[in-house]
Amino acid sequence: MAARTKLHIKTGAAATSHSLAGRLLAKLLAPLLITLVLAGVLGGIGWGMHWSLLRANPFFTLRTIDVQTEGQGLTAPAIIDILAEMGYRPGETNLFEIDVRAIRERLEKAAVVERAWAYRVMPDHLAVGFAQRFPVARLRARIPRFIDRSGHVLLPWEAEGFSLLPDIVGVRDPDTLRPGRKAEDEVLLGALEFLRLNEEYAERLDCKVHMLQLDYHPPEKIKVYVRRAGTFRENAQIVVPVRNMRPALNRLAVIVRDRTGLGLPTGFVDVTYQENVPVRE
């Protein structure tokens, strides 16, 4: 009997302990649960107010689309058509139903677009625009293409009005270059780097480039053909390295300065050499 009584008392104590623990846990969790419920109620109220005051309010109906463009690569009517395809039309769409991020991403899919923007102007305007890629050279290939300063490929109708740009010839697998994508060919990118540096060195070099020929044989180089200007004869050839181009152009600038000062014509110069640079009339 004593053993049974002892066992009964132990069991009762354990139950009492569990009951106290449960009540303590409930007291601790109650504020959290109340907070979550209130947050949910307030969130629902807030969403309802947002819907009724903004999205369902005719005061915020889209009335005007302001389009800003550079060049003719993507016209204002074409942008309006894109917005209509996305379901955004003046007189029909609520301003707060417009996904401006989606508009930017959609416009930047166009090869000619370098950077796009879209934002709301209260209470009923949408501003949309883009910065256009401008070509700096033409790629000779079965399907002619143009390329901008950063190496993004453009199709001819996206570069209308740039027929006098220099040609880049000898591009490896030119038909694999996809419009809108950036070229990864290091020699081709080197040719673009030369064009950029040629603008920087314009007063020192006076190179009127009309063609760049890519040479992939080691060491990789670029053969630049220029118009008659300064010391250079018509169709003079300048050979420059793909790598360490700036020091090479510094060598070229010294040669141009000296030969111009002496009144000597120049038909060929190879500044891939660091010393004893070959120069011919």
Residue 106 shares a structural domain with residue 161 = no
Identify the segments of the chain with pLDDT beneath 50.
1-15, 42, 44-48, 51
Q: Do residues 144 and 242 both lie within one domain?
A: yes
Flag whether 274 is in a domain.
yes
Q: Quote the pLDDT of residue 190.
A: 96
CATH number at residue 89: 3.10.20.310
Give the pLDDT of residue 149.
92
| 106: containing domain | 60-132
In a domain, 37, yes or no: no
Question: Count of domains in the chain?
Answer: 2
What does the pLDDT read at residue 159?
A: 63
pLDDT of residue 53: 62
pLDDT at 166: 95
pLDDT at position 143 is 79
Residues 86 and 207 in one domain: no
Beta bridge partners of 239: 223, 270
Which two tokens mark 178?
A: 């996809």
- pLDDT (tens digit per residue) in 33-92: 556 655 555 454 444 455 456 677 888 889 999 998 876 678 889 999 999 999 999 999
Q: Does one domain contain both 270 and 148?
A: yes
**This model's pTM is above 0.75:** no
Residue 21 lies in a domain: no
Domain assignment present for 251: yes
Residues 189 and 272 in one domain: yes
What per-residue confidence (pLDDT) applies to 39? 54
Choose one of 83, 110, 132: the last residue of a domain: 132
Task: Out of 77, 100, 132, pick the residue that ends a domain.
Answer: 132
What pLDDT score does 232 carry? 96
The per-residue pLDDT for 8 is: 37
263/173 same-domain check: yes
268 and 188 belong to one structural domain: yes
CB count, 10 Å around CB of 192? 19
Q: Are residues 151 and 257 in the same domain?
A: yes
The verdict on 80 and 128 lying in the same domain is: yes
pLDDT tens readout for residues 60-74: 889 999 998 876 678
Position 8 in a domain: no
